[in-house]
Amino acid sequence: MKLSEAILKGCEVTYQARGMYFEIESNGDVSACALGAACIGSESLSIEKAVSLVESSAGAGDLDKIIIGRLWDDIGVVNPVTGKAGLLFPVIVELNDYHMWSREMIAEWLKGIGQ
């Protein structure tokens, strides 16, 4: 499954989070950033497991090493906002957290670069 497809699938079952992989809303709903949505969308991580990561003291800080890096390559890309070269995963985080792109916008950009 391509990264863009996994993000879009994860968007179907989560709201958007910024600044963290996952967040539990006050009503119990789970939010996920673009990379968190990809993990859920690829079915490599269930929503229940995401919730337990958030609630545990370990958190989801190593999610990129545990899951994301096993599924997709952290290739070199050009940030579509800044024009600067960087690695794919940090650029996705930057687009999600700092440039306030929706996960769907990120997925569309990824499709455009074959991801």
Put simply, whether the predicted model's pTM sits higher than 0.85 gets the answer yes
Q: What would the pLDDT profile of 37-80 be if each residue is shown by its tens digit?
A: 998 999 877 888 777 776 665 555 566 666 787 888 889 999 99
Q: What backbone torsions phi and psi does residue 69 show, to the nearest 5 degrees?
A: -65, -20
Count of domains forming the chain:
1
CB 55 within 8 A of CB 70: no
- Element at 22 (helix H, strand E): strand 22-24
Higher pLDDT, 53 or 19: 19
CB 71 within 8 A of CB 41: no
Q: What is the pLDDT of residue 101?
A: 98
Range of the domain at 78: 3-112
